[in-house]
Amino acid sequence: HCGTGMTDFLQLPSLRTLSVADRAMRTGIEAESTQSLQQCPGCQGARLYRHGAQPQTYRDAPSHGKPVRIQILRRRYRCLDC
């Protein structure tokens, strides 16, 4: 599990590692986005609010001979103007 003293496993500026599970058959990484949406992609309005989050899983290159799965918790937004 990723603790306070652990360095960021993914080392990507837009993601924060939440946990790393190194199992016998695969490695699982959970992360969340650190970026927030500033304007609506549809109308360019700024009246957005968070509308939950949805996990999305990616397969990464193997590490130490084991498959790697990265699950990113993506924030969802709604626009008050659309």
Question: What confidence tens digit (pLDDT) does each residue in 9-56 have?
Answer: 788 888 999 999 989 899 999 999 888 889 999 999 999 999 998 999
Report the pLDDT value the prediction gives residue 7, as an integer from 0 to 100. 59
Note down the domain range covering 57: 15-79
Residues 6+ apart with CB under 8 A from 29: 9, 10, 17, 19, 20, 21, 60, 68, 69, 70, 71
* 33, amino acid identity: S
Residue 54 lies in a domain: yes
Residue 3 lies in a domain: no
Q: Which two three-digit tokens encode residue 63? A: 């590490």
Residue 61 lies in a domain: yes
Report the pLDDT value the prediction gives residue 34, as an integer from 0 to 100. 86
Residue 75 lies in a domain: yes
Residue 10 lies in a domain: no
Q: What SS3 state is found at 9?
A: coil
Number of structural domains found in the chain: 1
Report the pLDDT value the prediction gives residue 1, as an integer from 0 to 100. 44
Binned at pLDDT 50, 70 and 90, residue 57 comes out as very high
Report the pLDDT value the prediction gives residue 4, as an integer from 0 to 100. 43
Q: What SS3 state is found at 79?
A: strand
